[in-house]
Structure 1
């Protein structure tokens, strides 16, 4: 699976490792992702999502249903 948050759409960023002699080599900054299950009481089912830490805070703030609708509208997920 790709390293992309299904709620916020966050993916990796590219940067440089900088050594003591200032040589630069490419590296990736991966998002802080978790595999979590969320319960949807409206549909009486569990949903498994790959979410970042900021995605978890968004779900806690607005709720699972609203976060899923927002992610679907923004094109981050299509299966829910």
Structure 2
């Protein structure tokens, strides 16, 4: 599974690493992603979600 938050839809962004001499090199900015179990009372079961830190604050 790709590293995408299943609550907010956040995913990695692209950008540049910039050194002190201002040389630019492409890089990715990854998100703060966790695998967490949540209880779903309607179906009386646990589900596992990939959730970012921002998504955890929403739940």
Give the TM bin, normalised by the shorter chain.
over 0.9
4+ residue runs of structure 1 moved beyond 6 angstroms? Answer: none
Unaligned runs of 5+ in 2: none
Structure 1, unpaired ranges of 5+: 60-80
Aligned partner of 2:46 in structure 1 is: 46
Task: Report the CA distance between 1:41 and its aligned residue.
Answer: 1.2
**TM superposition score normalised by structure 2:** 0.94
Kindly report the root-mean-square deviation, in angstroms, between the aligned alpha carbons of the 2 structures.
Answer: 0.7
Number of matched residues?
59
Quick check: which one's strand share is greater?
Answer: 2
The two structures have a TM-score, normalised by structure 1, of 0.71
> 2:40, 2:2 → 1: CA distance?
24
